[in-house]
Structure 1
Amino acid sequence: MIDSILTEEELMQKHKKERKELQAQIQTLKKSICKGDKKKKKEIAEEIGRLEESLEKQHTEELNAWRLAHVTLNDQQTESAQVSKEVDKDNSSLEQSTHRISKAQKRREKKAIAEKERNQRIIEQETLNIFGKRNIETEAIKEILSKQNLMIYEIPSDGHCLYNAVVHQLKINGETPLSLDDLRTKTADYLKENMNDFLPFLSNPDSEDLLTPEEYEKYCNDVAETSAWGGAVELQVLSRILKCPIEVIQATGAPYIIGDEYSNDKKVTLTYHRHMYELGAHYNSVTKCVQDEES
């Protein structure tokens, strides 16, 4: 149970420290994997997932508890003042009349109680929204970007987010414009031409066995012809096609760069969100911060 005496800033610092400690623990776990030991790699990946989920759940619960504790405290103070006024008013009324409370008064009191309960539910829901996984992750990414004078540029969640985010980056970097279809086709062609490089990293989602050559062919066709979501493999391919590094910024851990052998002059920067949408992970682009005209 989180100590409600902590300030919100102290609580956020505590969470930041715990996330750093978890990242150190994760690095230790990754280093324990022997090269080629797929079973151990899978077990470690599952363990890392459990650790991250557990810490996020703990932080969410602590933040919710902190918020609700302070909301309740403020409500109690306000209610106490209101009760005092109502008692004085009631005593005055009793001195003037000993008649029973009317039915209309009872209805008003019942309505007031219902309204108070409704407001409390609204406050609790807003607390959950503010301290939910999605908002916590987004705020963490925004903080990282702000240090680079950048902000999130929203990309629609339609299966094409990775490619559309790259298209946006190429446009703002002044590169030769490529369409969504161009990038998908080039990615699929590169995958087909370099099957031996990528086949070991792709598995059947149902059996977890490596894809057969026939399944790999279908995978490539899906990349070109459908809204199949792009991930780590496609990031590698896009970096090679565009001959530029791709920086991926996420809420926890340091940003990672694919294709760091290329020049940084035309770097593509994306943000990776695990919890933005219920359908799964999501990529956004970034742009320069826009200053408030009134400031």
Structure 2
Amino acid sequence: MADAGDDKCDAEAELLQRHKKERKDLQSEIQKLKHSVSKDNKKKKKEITDKIALLEAELDCRHEKELADLKLHTTGAPQKLAGTVDEVVDKVGVLGVGDNEESDLGQQAQKKASKAQKQRAKKAAEDQEREDRIREQAIENLTSSRHLEAVKIGTLLAHRGLQIHEITSDGNCLYAAISHQLKKQQLMCTVDSLRGRVAEYMRSNPEEFMPFLTTESGEPFSEEDFEKYCHELETTPAWGGQLEIQALAQVLKVPIEVIQSEGPSLVSGEHFTGSPIVLTYYRHAYGLGEHYHSVEDRVETEEEFT
């Protein structure tokens, strides 16, 4: 007879197979939507692109929730442990011992059984609490600021023919995203070299940046504070923001556009004529704070719009 582990594996395999079919069905639906609009109908094409992005996001979230629910309903571990000590208690009476010894052994076994039952109950409660947290988190993810922000930015990128190129969250995300964009233009700049050029530009033009920098107590930066800021920017994985983007636009002599979920894109160095660098900015992507990703051309899973 198949045990609970086999049942769980079978249920998970069946769910993943259904998810695979639903994703394939969605791709078929997407192709029908694409073919339903003519190539020169830009307004309708934008509406279809937005709808496709939302359909894909909704399917991903539903699949995530169903997997979390499966884990909750197929645990089975506490039930599998039950009965091990009880079986020992039942067998004590058939041992070849005297009445007094049998009684003592029975009492000891009952005490052990009682302790084991408490342990099983405690473990079952802990398992249930953990699974409840998983399910609650899956539900929360559907309406979280992080999810809504990702859907909005994904939609904005989709009708520009772009998609996210993920950048590691390690303090260097701004410079790594810029480096990725430059590589697309056949320009090689490392994170360290970009940091060095930004620090050098800021030191040479303090009047452009010092008025916007304050200490933790809210006091304006002194020259010493500003030098420390530039030194950390150059030598540590200090997070970069809008001031560093302005400096990067100046040293690279290209426009830098930052797409965000709320409000219009922010463009620095718009007076430059070089190929623009495009980044995405997230306020809620990571628990540690704000984050930048790069972008790349959107990859269609099937044929393009006709």
Q: TM-score, normalised by structure 1?
A: 0.57
- 1:155-194 pair list within 5 angstroms: 155-174=167-186, 176-194=187-205
- Counterpart of 1:137? 149
Q: Deviation string for 1:240-284 (max 9, x for gaps)?
A: 000000000001111121111011x41000000000011110010
- CA distance, structure 2, for counterparts of residue 294 and residue 288 of structure 1: 15
Measure, in 1, the Cα distance between the counterparts of 2:294 and 2:133. Answer: 35
Question: What SS does structure 1 have at the residue aligned with 2:239?
Answer: coil
Task: Note closer, same or farther for the CA distance 1:160–1:117 as it changes in structure 2 (3 Å cut).
Answer: closer
Indicate how the Cα distance of structure 1 residues 119 and 184 shifts in structure 2: closer, same or farther if over 3 A, else same.
Answer: closer
* Correspondence 1:275 to 2:284: yes
Residue 245 (structure 1) aligned to one of 251, 255, 269:
255
Match of 1:213 in 2: 223
RMSD: 2.6
TM-aligned CA distance change 1:293 to 1:217, over 3 Å:
same
Local SS of the residue matching 2:209:
helix
Separation (CA, whole Å) in 1 of partners of 2:234 and 2:133: 47
For residues 133 and 195 of structure 2, the distance between their equivalents in structure 1, rounded to whole angstroms, comes to 46
In structure 1, list runs of 5 or more residues that go unmatched: 1-66, 72-113
Match of 2:28 in 1: none
Q: Which residue of 2 aligns with 1:285?
A: 294
How many Å apart are 1:122 and its aligned residue? 5.2
Q: 1:194 to 1:122 in 2, by over 3 A?
A: closer
Q: Secondary structure at the match of 1:273?
A: strand
- What TM-score, normalized to structure 2? 0.55
Measure the CA separation in 2 of the matches of 1:177 and 1:146.
Answer: 27
Deviation at 1:197, TM superposition (A): 1.7
Partner in structure 2 of residue 84 of structure 1: none
Identify if the C-alpha distance between structure 1 residues 121 and 156 changes in structure 2 by more than 3 Å, giving closer, same or farther.
Answer: closer
Tell me which structure has the larger Cα radius of gyration.
2
Question: How many angstroms does 1:121 deviate by?
Answer: 6.4
Pick one of 259, 265, 278 that aligns with 2:269. Answer: 259
Mapping for residues 63-212 of structure 1, pairs under 5 Å: 123-174=135-186, 176-204=187-215, 206-212=216-222
Distance in 1 (alpha carbons) for counterparts of 2:255 and 2:219: 30
- Supply the distance in 2 between the matched residues of 1:252 and 1:211 (Cα, whole angstroms): 30
SS at match of 2:154: helix
**Deviation per CA, 1:114-169, whole angstroms, max 9, x where unpaired?**
99999876554322112111111111100000010100111011000000000000
Question: What is the letter of the counterpart of residue 246 of structure 1?
Answer: I
Q: 1:162 and 1:228 mapped to 2: Cα distance?
A: 10
Identity %: 43
The unaligned stretches of length 5 or more in structure 2 are: 1-61, 67-124
Q: Against the structure 1 CA distance between its residues 293 and 147, is the aligned structure 2 distance closer, same or farther, given a 3 Å change threshold? A: closer
